[in-house]
Chain A
Amino acid sequence: MGKGARLGLVLALFVAAFGLVTYAVVAYVVPKPPVIDFAAGHSAGTPVDLHLQVVGSLGYGPHPTYVSYLTMNPSGKWVHTTRWDLPANTQVNVTIDQYDSGSPLRNQYFGGVTGTLGGKATLNGKSFTVLNANNGAGVGHTFTMPALGVSVPLWGVSSTAKNACNQAAPCPSSAAHEVVKFSFMTPGSQSVGHTYRWQCFVPCGLATVDGNGGPMQAIGYMGGFMTVEG
């Protein structure tokens, strides 16, 4: 091997090693799944709109079969994440487009609506406080933030629906879905900097132990964080 070739090899290895280290550092520093900031530029007292959708399978990435939440960012683009920064002491108007099917609940407690403004939610425009998961399509998922006492069941799409979403996420609004709306208040300024976990309480991780593995234990799929910002 000539001198030039050896020098080239060493340089190439150095660049590769440097690249790997840089990748490791960046991957560690940059949050994944990404955090969507709803607090930046927020004027106090105005509500924040949080638009989510639930899909039966994500259709891409390392776990295409996982059931997942998605979040619409402020510029109207669907992002595969469950992590948000929200301003303190603010009304959050949540809209969830539910594209997944449902079933009876393992714990029907989560059929009830709790912790929302007015203690209720709407399903396709109709107000409700309890869903009986034992009837009809059943409950597909829940949106639950235990520390704030917020919990809302998401009714499932009928298994006989003709135009069920069968594409990679995001699902188009033309596909069969249920629209659930509710509002809750973020905690006050004393909670600025605090992070609240939320999760789905339907064991929807199919083919995992008790249905609570896979997407149920992967941040960005069936659970995430809300961080309260000042």
Chain B
Amino acid sequence: MARRQSSSPDAVSNKTHTARLMGMWVPLMVVTELVFWFVLQPHIPPGRQSDSAQGQQFDITVLSMIATPVFELVIMYFIYSLLVWRHPKGAPLVDGPPIRSNMKIQTAWMVITSAMVFGAFVFGTYELVVPAGAGGGEGPNPIWKPSGKVLPVQVIAQQWRFTYRYPTLGGFETSQLVIPNHTEIAFHVTSLDVVHNFWAYQLGVKADANPQSDNVAYTHTNQVGRFTVRCAELCGIWHGAMYNYGHVVPRAQFSSWATSTKARLASNTKNLPPFSYAGYVPSANGAAGSFYSPQDKFGPLETYGAATPTS
């Protein structure tokens, strides 16, 4: 960054200009950083309903705190230039002093911006995988896993609705998404037709739903409340209507919900195909659609062990 030489009539030295700018910038920076961290952070989306959501909130806060002082310095320098170095009224029009390079400032600029970009790279890469994949879909063989027990929930996308299956609670399938608080959840996201995307906004979870594939995304719930699930992959005429609300509830409430739902759906659960983490194994003949080709390995025998299941 080149600076104007101090040959102007007011004869204010560069040092004074720098001191003035710093005197304004440093307090402003300190105030905005404090406001970002303590005042704005709790309100930055997607909130704190899960550890992955909180992680994303933290990331956005940190990146904003890196970017904002730079923004403030640039804007402040613009305004300062306009006010202090504008052409005085009535003064003769003369060419300004030549602009020369300033090795110190240039070096500092290069070093500081490089450090910031490299820091953002390292920070971003780390945050992308912590905690446990940061709520993103990791495919069928996740590299970043949570430690300890997880509650698996299969997310079944189809044109145009999500349904949810709870393999460890009797394998019932429901259109309600209810999960317990303070629990590690493993979403196993799959599709019965085209590519959809399971986006649980306030949980900070987002994972593609591909047919015949198991896309695993982890999150740890931290707050009870409602969250929004949206399909985030354009999937046909009712894509915009493909959403529902999920609920994080206290553990005891979850147990009673699971027990009563299991009982209520029992007569349909026995008609469902056996649970499989390899994706939702669809009905015997694919029910009128060309996606499941005749060569499909999910024939009636493979699915049910019989031409038609004994119910």
Contact = CB atoms under 8 A, between A and B. Distances in A.
Contact of A107 (B282, B304, B308, B309): B282
A141 to B, nearest CB: 10
Interface string B280-294: 101111111111000
A112 B272 CA distance: 11
A170 interface: no
Interface of A: 103-109, 111-112, 114, 129-130, 132-135, 138, 144, 146-147, 149, 151, 197, 199, 201-212, 216-217, 219, 223
A111 B268 contact: yes
Contacts of B282: 106-107
A216 B289 CA distance: 11
Nearest to B237: A217
B308 A108 contact: no
B267 interface: yes
A133 B244 CA distance: 26
Interface residues of B, number: 38
B274 to A, nearest CB: 12
Given A103-B285, A111-B271, A134-B271, A208 B311 contact: no
B209 to A, nearest CB: 13
A212 B159 CA distance: 7
Contacts of A108: 173, 268, 271-273, 283
B285 to A, nearest CB: 6
Contacts of B73: none
Given A106-B287, A211-B291, A203 B271 contact: no
Contacts of A138: 287
Given A103-B287, A199-B238, A206-B288, A146 B161 contact: yes
**Interface core residue of B163, B244, B268, B289 (most chain A CB under 10 Å):** B289
7 contacts: A106-B193, A107-B173, A134-B304, A146-B175, A199-B160, A202-B288, A205-B288
A50 to B, nearest CB: 21
A197 B243 CA distance: 12
